[in-house]
Structure 1
Amino acid sequence: MASKSPTILATSGGYKPGARTRLEFNKLVHYAVDLSGVTGRAPRIAHLGTASGDQRWFNSEISEAGNVAGFRLTHLNLFSMPNVGNIEEYLLGQDVVWVNGGSVVNLLAVWRAHELDAIFRRVWQAGVVLAGVSAGSICWFRGGTTDSFGPELRAVSNGLALLPYDNGVHYDSEAARRPLVHRLVAAGTLGETHCTDDGVGLLYRGTQLVEAVTETPGKAAYRVTLAASDGSTAEVVEERLDPTEL
């Protein structure tokens, strides 16, 4: 079942400790499923762990989380070769695509090698809900901030650009994230940047930001822009977006 319009849920969350497994899906993942509108059957979820090299041990834990949630969860692995014959057909058959975190720089390089940049645009336009955490959030934007190059955070600017903004993740849990976003916006390296505290997600219908949501009370999202202050100079403006609690 396809969503009524192209839909992206970009998050800094989605997992919680499990009762009998190491992790379970938290409310953000369940919200992504709700957005798909699927009823009367188990939701079909594709998990992509490209950003961490398709680690099979983590795939196993995600599979357990899917079983607990009642999802029909499968994995699109690209290492060492794609595990499906037709990637686009496989993705178009899903209700939700969930992209895990890791190295967004490596993720984007591998995706482009397999033409997933073009495929995901068509999958998005077809109404499959695209969602993810951390690298799985930044990838849908023009770019953002990343530790993919090393411990010192840097800008990444070659995202898929389905959304015409930049993205900041883990905004409250990693001290260097906020000041770097502000510096990069001030320098013009990043444009309008949408940021999420841990546990927060941003919902886009088409390219329009329509709602911030949270699985963790007290957290927030932020819109960071460069705005004229007195007609001749510009300053960075951070607008807090209070989310709806899931």
Structure 2
Amino acid sequence: MVTAPPRRLALLGGGFSTDDDRLLDGWLLGHARAGRPKVCFVPTASGDAPAYIEKFRAAFGPDDCEPGVLALFQRELSDDELRTFLLAQDVVYVGGGNTANLLAVWRTHGVDRLLGEAHDRGTLLCGISAGANCWAQGSHTDSFGPLTSLPDGLGLLPGSVCPHYDGEPGRRSSYLAAVASGALPAGWALEDGVGALFADGALAEAVTRAPRARLFRVEPDGQGGAVERAVPCRLLTEAQ
């Protein structure tokens, strides 16, 4: 009997776009299913910003992986080529930007369905900010300007996600209120610097590149409020 590979997701509170030490990216690549993995950067949430793509190419060189980029605003691949390309990736790394726009563009091109298929086949899906939000059932976002709830993710990770929990004013209180009111289901809040790996929907590992950065599980308290529980995180170091 063939055993199905675990369906894995990683939420990143940093990486090549924000950090010089590359600790979170190194940790991420260590969980790829191949020693020299194929890593596809998906910059949809930033509108395929050229500077973002160049930053990825500078960070992910051929010594570490086989880097690739999926651009959708000037798409060149046919439907069959797009499916073949995505299913061949070991890691799909989604950049930050506008979560709502990201989801709309993906659905237009059928990328949402293909990522679900890749997930089932063992591709490690991950991302920062909007690239973390997109995988859950719902998320906390500034896609529409003010901070608000977006109960419209891909649903590959149960519950909700809130990025930048300590990095942007109002994030913490707004997300707690959303979970308390039921606007968003219980979920995960990431402070900047944290990485969280999930296997088949369950938290498998939590790490941090910053000693004080934390991951929180946020749930309704049953009395009209919400409670947050800090999850222990292993500190990453250069030696690792």
TM-score by length of 2: 0.90
Match of 2:29 among 13, 28, 33: 33
User: Where does structure 2 lack aligned partners over 5 or more consecutive residues?
Assistant: none
Runs of 4+ in 1 over 6 A off after TM superposition: none
Q: 1:129 maps to which residue?
A: 124
Q: Size of the alignment, in residue pairs?
A: 232
Aligned residue identity for 2:195: G
Are the equivalent residues in 2 in contact too, given 1:225–1:238 (CA < 8 A)? yes
Residue 192 of structure 1 aligns with which residue? 186
Helix, strand or coil: the match of 1:158?
coil
> In the alignment, does 2:99 pair up with 1:99?
no
Cα displacement (A) at 1:33: 1.5
Q: Counterpart of 1:70 in 2: which secondary structure?
A: coil
Matched with 1:81 is 75
Counterpart contact for 2:17–2:52, Cα < 8 Å: no
1:209 shift after superposition: 1.5
1:56 paired residue among 50, 58, 61: 50
Note if 1:227 corresponds to 2:227: no
Work out whether 1:9 is the aligned partner of 2:10.
Answer: yes
What is residue 240 of structure 1 aligned with on the other side?
A: 230
1:44 maps to which of 38, 49, 52: 38
Contact 1:12 1:134 in 2 (8 A): yes
Return the offset for 1:174: 0.8
Corresponding position: 1:119 with 2:114: yes
Shift of 1:95: 1.3
Q: State the 1:133 CA deviation.
A: 0.3
Q: Structure 2 counterpart of 1:9, which letter? A: A
* Cα deviations by residue, 1:11-55 (Å, 9 ceiling, x for unpaired): 1111277xxxxx75722222222112322xx32110000000111
Name the structure 2 match of 1:20.
none
Do the aligned residues in 2 keep the contact of 1:76 with 1:83 (CA within 8 Å)? Answer: no
Structure 1 residue runs of 5 or longer lacking an equivalent are: 18-22
List per-residue Cα deviations over 1:128-183 (Å, max 9, x = no partner).
10011000000000111111111x21111110010111001011111211000111
Q: Give me the whole-angstrom Cα distance separating, in 1, the residues matched to 2:155 and 2:25.
A: 22
CA distance in 2, matches of 1:217, 1:78: 37
Q: Which residue of 1 aligns with 2:197?
A: 203
RMSD of equivalent CA atoms: 1.9
Question: Distance in 2 between the 1:84 and 1:202 partners?
Answer: 34
- In structure 2, relative to structure 1, the CA distance for the partners of 1:28 and 1:237 (3 Å cut) is same
Task: Judge which range, 206-215 or 154-163, deviates more.
Answer: 206-215
Measure, in 2, the Cα distance between the counterparts of 1:158 and 1:187: 17
Q: For the Cα contact (< 8 Å) 1:25–1:66, is it kept in 2?
A: no
Give 1:68 deviation, angstroms. Answer: 7.7
Distance 1:59 1:24, change over 3 A: farther
The 8 Å contact of residues 169 and 196 in structure 1, kept in 2 or not, is answered as yes
Identity %: 33
Report the Cα distance in structure 2 between the residues aligned to 1:56 and 1:190, rounded to whole angstroms.
33
The letter of the residue matching 2:89 is Q
